[in-house]
Structure 1
Amino acid sequence: MERNIVFLWICAFAIVHPVVHGHQETLPQPTASDQLPLLIKMNNDFAFHLYKRLVEMPEYQSKNIFFSPFSVSMVLSELSLGAGGETKQQLLSGIGHNSSVFSTEEMHQMFHSLLEEMDQRTGVDIDVGTALYVGDKFKALPEFLEKMKEFYHSEGFTVDFSVKETLDKMNMYVKEKTHGKIKQAVDDLESDTLMFLLTYIYFKGKWDMPFNPSTTREVIFHVDAETTVPVQMMHQYESLEVYYDAELTSKVLCLDYNDSYSMFLAVPDIKRRDKTIKDLEMAISRQHIEKWRRAVQKRKVDIYVPKLSLKTSYSLNDILKGMGMADMFTDKANFTGISEERIFISKALHKATLDINEEGTTAAAVTTVSFRPMSYSPLKTLRFDRPFMIFITDKKNDNILFFGKVVNPVEKQ
């Protein structure tokens, strides 16, 4: 009897937890490969393909969506290191790799460069990594383990999956890497598990322009035409980066974290009642994010952003199968680069959390302005009081770390 189970666990935790902004010197960044923008385009295109597949799933429709496409594409790239034949081709095609643009070896090297660069960042607290748990009776090929460590900074552990202590150690590892945000990442393990691949990303950012808690008020959030919920709405009237995307008939707000990363929020224009969040999410692409980075301009605006605390969890098996990566979940799986034993992937899971609030901004100066321009502009006020999209991106290279849609800010899921 074959014991051929591999678990994938992808944890993504955006702890957007703003505190009072203080001046911080930005260290010079190491020069990444000239081809790095090509990898980021590939990853970001994958992000939108994954999102659109996700929102098509019946169980996730009309739900909050939040995930880290970067961590998913990274784990699939890691798997391709040990895959062969059709399984490898499906993985590479699924993540959007084009061999005429760069080779698989270059792809792994670019992931390495990107991880090295992210590790050097100042101004935000970001932690990205991989852990590989290998059963003590399972013989993983040394070359695969070495490549995982070389390219993806993977930590390796030899464990006995049949004892509860292993589960406890794995949960403690995730708890430490996510700074206590996830205390119970793994609920149970099957005793015939051979290997467990865990990829995590933790992000904690400080607003450049913090919100003042004294201006937060309870308001109504319009979930849909029939449903409203009360939310705590943060408010600012400042010079902020905004843009009106006429093609998408949507208002875009860019909030920066210490001049390093940004959060983009996009909401359909309420004046165009024929346009909904569904229209926005189906039309949006990587190119729009790149355009927004160039197009946003500072202007004095009123913004209203809800406080959020979301938790999401997704089974990726059917989603990845729907993106053409089916063989790895079946007896057709070819992971001969990982082990001489026949193995397949039993489960691919993704969990993410998002917290947005104004904690720590009490000491910030409050600016009240009595006189405001009266001329009409679609960008005079940006109210995120109806479903909107959310992206956390790298200001330097537009790499999308997190991606989502807020339908109901008080739904914990």
Structure 2
Amino acid sequence: MKTSRMGSRVGVILIAAIVALSALGCSGAATSTPSPKSTVKQENVEMVNPKLVAANTRFGFKLFSEILKKDTQKNVFVSPSSVAIALSMTYNGASGETQQAMANALQLQGLSLSELNQANANLKTNLEKGDPSVTVAIANSLWARNGVSFNSEFIKRNQTFYDAEIKTLDFNSAAAPREINGWVNEKTNGKISEIIDQIRPDQVMFLINAIYFNGKWTNEFDKNQTEARSFYLANGKEKQHPLMQQKGKYRYYENDQFQAVSLPYGNEQMSLYLFLPSQKSSLSDFHKTLNSENWQTWMGQFSQRQGSVQIPRFKLSYDIELKEALSALGMAVAFDKSKADFSRLSDVETNINQVKHKTFVEVNEEGTEAAAVTSVGITVTSVQIEEPPFDMVVNRPFFCAIRDNKTGEILFMGSIINPNL
């Protein structure tokens, strides 16, 4: 039976997720140094497996729903992609009940381990090279304690399919947290400077994913048109806040419950989707309908339409410990030090102790800088009926998502109840 625990502090660039593993009996473990980076070439990297995108979409909305149960009165902004990638790296070390529980939580039905790994490699390449005018940078790393033996196949798969940087450190050194945080700061372009404040004696590994996004609007907002206007909070209070505005032709959809618009970046492969609940509804009501099935339906309903948009300029940081949410999704066994089975990771018994997530996003007249996950393909109707121009004023709590329109991957999603600067 295991006797150790683990803890960590983590984050993401625009969004990053970190998984910390702890083990028992570290003093008796054999010393090994992870092997050098594999040179195995990936084939068909341009082809993204739709099963992975569908799995990430289901996982993303289920995770978001669990998070909202905890943070109901604050802005929420997460990157389900970052969390999914970090956990997929860890999944390579799981066996038995633990492996099945993680597969269920990550919605990986129908995907073998080899298919999952190859699909993640292809998705990374596709997202990073999809639009030369939009920056998407996905970085992975694995930080191991000196003197602890780890399975060579586990290390190799993370190098080969996740392009993970493998580092062995003296976790007892005061310089270790600084080195890990320096990597995070670099990969997030300075938006997230710290993930780990200290390393506990029982911590033997950190798996970290960082995603950085920077996209310029296809059509930038004119700063001279930005004006301080009323924004109505969920509690009925009113505040003055800068609203950016422009007119044009957009992919747009509305029904009795909400208005929604797609604001594209660069060559329009990626977009910011904004969902504004109707006056007779609310953001909390919208959350009740937010799931992967409805999302796919809504994505197919967007069509080109002339109109005007007013959206708030905002900037925020968010962080959360995901152990409770992931346990609710079915992978509690992975956190249980007496039941977790990561025998494919190391001969030393280990469990996941923490999964922390941290994000940053800034939306202004030029574009968006953030960390996030995106999914879902775009369907264009062949026949469109001309409709009168719409007017969408985002002056109350709203939902947003950054989505890759080519693959359908959702990089980021959030509920903004009070935009801040």
TM-score in terms of structure 2 length: 0.83
Shift of 1:329: 1.3
Shift of 1:269: 1.6
- 1:61 maps to which residue? 72
Which of residues 97, 102, 112 is equivalent to 2:111? 102
**Aligned partner letter, 1:396:** K
Tell me if the contact between 1:126 and 1:203 (Cα under 8 Å) persists in the aligned partners. Answer: yes
Q: 1:93 and 2:104 equivalent?
A: yes
Q: 1:360 & 1:244 partners in 2: Cα distance?
A: 24
Tell me if the contact between 1:9 and 1:197 (Cα under 8 Å) persists in the aligned partners. Answer: no
- 2:282 maps to which residue? 276
Tell me if the contact between 2:78 and 2:359 (Cα under 8 Å) persists in the aligned partners. Answer: yes
Shift of 1:5: 2.9
Shift of 1:381: 1.1
User: SS where residue 323 of structure 1 aligns?
Assistant: helix
**Aligned partner letter, 2:341:** N
Quick one: structure 1 residues 33 and 211, their matched pair in 2 at CA, closer, same or farther if it must change by over 3 Å?
closer
**Aligned partner letter, 1:171:** N
User: SS where residue 302 of structure 1 aligns?
Assistant: strand
- 1:44 maps to which residue? 57
Q: 1:168 and 2:178 equivalent?
A: yes
Q: 1:215 & 1:289 partners in 2: Cα distance?
A: 32
Shift of 1:31: 5.4
**Aligned partner letter, 1:256:** P
Which of residues 103, 107, 112 is equivalent to 2:121? 112
- 2:233 maps to which residue? 223
Tell me if the contact between 2:401 and 2:412 (Cα under 8 Å) persists in the aligned partners. Answer: yes
Which of residues 311, 323, 334 is equivalent to 1:317? 323
Which of residues 349, 358, 363 is equivalent to 1:356? 363
Q: Deviations over 1:165-220 (max 9, x none)?
A: 11111111111101111122322222332111111111000100100001111112
Q: What CA RMSD, in Å, does the superposition of the two structures yield over aligned residues?
A: 2.4
User: SS where residue 326 of structure 2 aligns?
Assistant: helix
Q: 1:116 & 1:219 partners in 2: Cα distance?
A: 41
Q: Deviations over 1:368-394 (max 9, x none)?
A: xxxxxxx996x6210111111001010
Q: Deviations over 1:265-284 (max 9, x none)?
A: 001122xx1x2111111102
Tell me if the contact between 2:5 and 2:202 (Cα under 8 Å) persists in the aligned partners. Answer: yes
Tell me if the contact between 2:172 and 2:201 (Cα under 8 Å) persists in the aligned partners. Answer: yes
User: SS where residue 62 of structure 1 aligns?
Assistant: coil
Quick one: structure 1 residues 360 and 200, their matched pair in 2 at CA, closer, same or farther if it must change by over 3 Å?
closer
**Aligned partner letter, 1:40:** V
Quick one: structure 1 residues 263 and 302, their matched pair in 2 at CA, closer, same or farther if it must change by over 3 Å?
same
- 1:257 maps to which residue? 265
Q: 1:343 and 2:350 equivalent?
A: yes
Tell me if the contact between 2:55 and 2:106 (Cα under 8 Å) persists in the aligned partners. Answer: yes
Moved more, 39-48 or 183-192: 183-192
Moved more, 183-192 or 203-212: 183-192
TM-score in terms of structure 1 length: 0.85
Aligned counterparts, 1:12-31, within 5 A: 12-13=13-14
Which of residues 398, 401, 405 is equivalent to 2:411? 401
Query: Can you give the 5+ residue segments of structure 2 that lack an aligned partner in the other structure?
Result: 17-42, 369-385
Tell me if the contact between 2:275 and 2:398 (Cα under 8 Å) persists in the aligned partners. Answer: yes
Shift of 1:244: 0.9
Tell me if the contact between 1:241 and 1:298 (Cα under 8 Å) persists in the aligned partners. Answer: yes
Q: 1:75 & 1:360 partners in 2: Cα distance?
A: 27
- 1:9 maps to which residue? 10
**Aligned partner letter, 1:320:** L
**Aligned partner letter, 2:100:** Q
Q: How many residues align?
A: 374
Q: 1:300 and 2:306 equivalent?
A: yes
Q: 2:360 & 2:15 partners in 1: Cα distance?
A: 6
Shift of 1:226: 2.5
Query: Can you give the 5+ residue segments of structure 1 that lack an aligned partner in the other structure?
Result: 16-29, 362-374
Aligned counterparts, 1:163-242, within 5 A: 163-242=173-252
Q: 2:98 & 2:61 partners in 1: Cα distance?
A: 22
**Aligned partner letter, 2:93:** G
Q: 1:61 & 1:52 partners in 2: Cα distance?
A: 10
Q: 1:329 and 2:330 equivalent?
A: no
Q: 1:207 & 1:409 partners in 2: Cα distance?
A: 19
Tell me if the contact between 2:404 and 2:410 (Cα under 8 Å) persists in the aligned partners. Answer: yes
Q: 1:336 & 1:203 partners in 2: Cα distance?
A: 35
Quick one: structure 1 residues 392 and 219, their matched pair in 2 at CA, closer, same or farther if it must change by over 3 Å?
same
Q: 1:347 & 1:225 partners in 2: Cα distance?
A: 34
Quick one: structure 1 residues 185 and 230, their matched pair in 2 at CA, closer, same or farther if it must change by over 3 Å?
farther
Q: 1:326 & 1:10 partners in 2: Cα distance?
A: 21
Q: 1:141 & 1:8 partners in 2: Cα distance?
A: 24
User: SS where residue 97 of structure 1 aligns?
Assistant: coil
Q: 1:3 & 1:160 partners in 2: Cα distance?
A: 19
Q: 2:179 & 2:292 partners in 1: Cα distance?
A: 38
Q: Deviations over 1:72-112 (max 9, x none)?
A: 112222211101111111100111111xx332221111111
- 1:364 maps to which residue? none
Q: 1:151 & 1:7 partners in 2: Cα distance?
A: 24
Q: 1:302 & 1:389 partners in 2: Cα distance?
A: 18
After the TM superposition, which segments of 4 or more aligned residues of structure 1 sit over 4 Å from their partners?
1-4, 30-35
- 2:38 maps to which residue? none
